């Protein structure tokens, strides 16, 4: 194993470029989920990260069917373009899509909002845990990335969740080499993150390389918005303009797509994947910093949500 001291002046010709490597690792992780777990599900929201997951699942399992259904936890506050895309993509792949909604949890009384306009984003956790119990899933595959947020930087690729769905940062399994441990007792489960090691830029480069279709709101379009601090609040039925608000028609795109009440677009002229990549490579604000109204609350907002069962 004693390699000679390398010469910094010699050109390198790695067989795999960085996207090849990330793709191969993600396929490996998906196949480990399929090989180790008896009843997994893949979380698919219609967002770009989960769209990438579906392409990776095709590469991992075709010509076979996926060894898991797709699962979406719908807050009921999603952009219609994204929901339409979700349904069309599942249909095109001929895979089973299960949708469970926060509204059903509300009518069961397991989710109670503090006020009618409270964001439902964090309440997805309750509905997700209910779906896990209903179907007996022992693993959920998600599109989270370690570069997104501080509480994600220490996340395992196979993240252990106890019977209550909670993430205990002090009780995570050491993860060595590529030896992943998905063993759980009944009631516990694993959250598996095949694109843990990808950055936002990697995701966009992969979308371009694979020619993946995306919901239209990822591309620059004109939309009524209100400036709130450094963020843009879209004007929608759920988030109407209040008295005194100045509504502007701006050219914007979404960097992340989630619950309408907590996802903000950014000003942009990028109407193609190529232009988005150029913008991403030169942006000065983090993905969540530019777009998430829910992580602004405190330094530890994401860490707290994960402990409560968020993915």
Partner 1 sequence: MSAIEHIPEFGSPVDNGLLRFLTCGSVDDGKSTLIGRLLYDTKAILADTLHAIEKTSLRRGMEAVDLSLLTDGLQAEREQGITIDVAYRYCSTGRRKYIIADAPGHEQYTRNMVTAASTANLAIILIDARKGVLTQTRRHSYLAHLVGIPHLVVAVNKMDLVGYDRAVFERIRGDYLDFASQLGIEEVRFIPLSALNGDMLVDRGDNLDWYEGPTLIDILESAPVAHSESDERFRFPVQYVCRPQRADDPLLHDYRGFMGRVESGEIAVGNEVVALPSERRSRVKGIELGGRALQRAVAEQSVTLLLEDEIDISRGDMIVRGETKESALVTRRIEAMLCWLGECPLDAQRKYLIRQTTRDSRALLDGIAYRLDINSLQQVAAEGLGMNDIARVAFKLAQPLVVDRYAENRATGAFIVIDESNNNTVGAGMIL
Q: State which of positions 272-291 bind partner 1 (CB under 8 A).
A: 277-278, 281, 283-286, 289-290
Q: Which is nearer to partner 1, 224 or 289 (CB)?
A: 289
Minimum distance between the CB of residue 112 and partner 1, rounded to whole angstroms? 26
Torsion over CA: 297, 298, 304, 309 (sign): positive
Among 96, 108, 112, 154, binds partner 1 (CB under 8 A): 154
Say if residues 141 and 33 touch (Cβ distance below 8 Å).
Answer: yes
Q: Which is nearer to partner 1, 79 or 206 (CB)?
A: 206
Instruction: Give the per-residue contact string, 4-43, with partner 1 (x = CB under 8 A; - = no).
Output: xxxxxxx-x-xxxxx-xxxxxx-xx--xx-xx--------
CB of 148 or CB of 259, closer to partner 1: 148
List all residues 6 or more positions away from 1 whose beta carbon is below 8 Å from its beta carbon. Answer: none
10 Å CB burial of residue 297 (0-12, 13-18, 19+) is exposed
Q: What is the 3-state secondary structure (H, E, C) of 235-304?
A: CCCCCCCCCCCCCEEEEEECCCCCCHHHECCEECCCCCHHHHHHHHHHCCCCHHHHHECCCCCCCCHHHH
Please identify, using beta-carbon distances, which residue of 183 and 228 lies nearer to partner 1: 183
Report the nearest approach of partner 1 to the CB of residue 230 (Å). 8
Provide the token pair at 36: 């180790």
Cβ closest to partner 1, residue 77 vs residue 253: 253
**Residue number, 267 or 299, with CB nearest to partner 1:** 299
Least separation in angstroms between residue 222's CB and partner 1 is: 25
- Restricting to residues 289-308, name those near partner 1 by CB under 8 A: 289-290, 299-300, 303-304
Residues 46-105 that bind partner 1 (CB under 8 A): 58-65, 67
d(Cα 31, Cα 44) in Å, to the nearest integer?
17
Strand 221-228 and strand 231-234: the pairing is: antiparallel
Query: 214 with 30: CB under 8 angstroms?
Result: no
| Smallest distance, partner 1 to C-beta of residue 305, A | 12
The yes or no reply on residue 162 touching partner 1 (CB under 8 A) is no
Phi, psi of 251 (to 5 degrees): -85, 115
What is each CA distance from 120 to 76, 105, 238, 289, 309, in whole angstroms? Answer: 8, 11, 12, 19, 14
Whether the Cβ atoms of residue 139 and residue 147 lie closer than 8 Å to each other: no
**In the complex, minimum distance from the CB of residue 263 to partner 1, in angstroms, rounded to a whole number:** 16
User: Which is closer to partner 1, CB of 236 or CB of 296?
Assistant: 296
Show contacts with partner 1 in window 170-209 (CB under 8 A).
Answer: 170, 172-179, 181, 183-185, 196-197, 199, 201-202
């Amino acid at each position: 194993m004693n390699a000679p001291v390398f010469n910094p002046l010699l050109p390198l010709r790695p067989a795999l470029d960085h996207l090849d490597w990330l793709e191969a690792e993600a396929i490996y992780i998906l196949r480990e989920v399929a090989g180790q777990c008896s009843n997994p599900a893949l979380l698919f929201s219609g967002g770009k990260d989960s769209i990438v997951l579906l392409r990776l699942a095709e590469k991992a399992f075709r010509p076979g069917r996926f060894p898991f259904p797709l699962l979406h936890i719908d807050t009921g506050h999603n952009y219609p373009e994204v929901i339409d895309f979700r349904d069309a993509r599942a249909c095109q792949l001929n895979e089973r899509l299960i949708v469970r909604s926060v509204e059903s949890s509300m009518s069961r009384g397991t989710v109670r909002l503090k006020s009618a306009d409270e964001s439902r984003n964090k309440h997805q956790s309750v509905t997700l845990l209910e779906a896990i119990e209903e179907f007996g899933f022992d693993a959920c595959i998600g599109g989270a990335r370690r570069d997104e947020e501080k509480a994600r930087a220490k996340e395992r690729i196979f993240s252990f969740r106890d019977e209550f769905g909670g993430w205990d940062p002090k009780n995570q399994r050491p993860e060595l080499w590529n030896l992943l441990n998905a063993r759980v007792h009944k009631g516990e489960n694993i959250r598996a993150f095949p694109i843990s090691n990808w950055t936002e830029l990697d995701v966009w480069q992969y979308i371009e390389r694979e020619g993946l279709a995306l919901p239209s709101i990822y591309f620059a379009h004109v939309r009524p918005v209100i400036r709130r601090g450094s963020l843009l609040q879209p004007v929608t039925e759920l988030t109407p303009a209040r008295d005194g608000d100045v509504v502007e028609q701006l050219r914007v795109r979404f960097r992340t797509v989630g619950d309408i009440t907590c996802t903000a677009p950014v000003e942009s002229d990028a109407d193609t994947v190529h232009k988005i990549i150029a913008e991403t490579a030169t942006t000065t604000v983090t993905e969540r910093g530019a777009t998430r109204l829910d992580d602004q609350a405190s330094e530890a907002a994401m860490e707290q949500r994960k402990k409560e069962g968020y993915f």
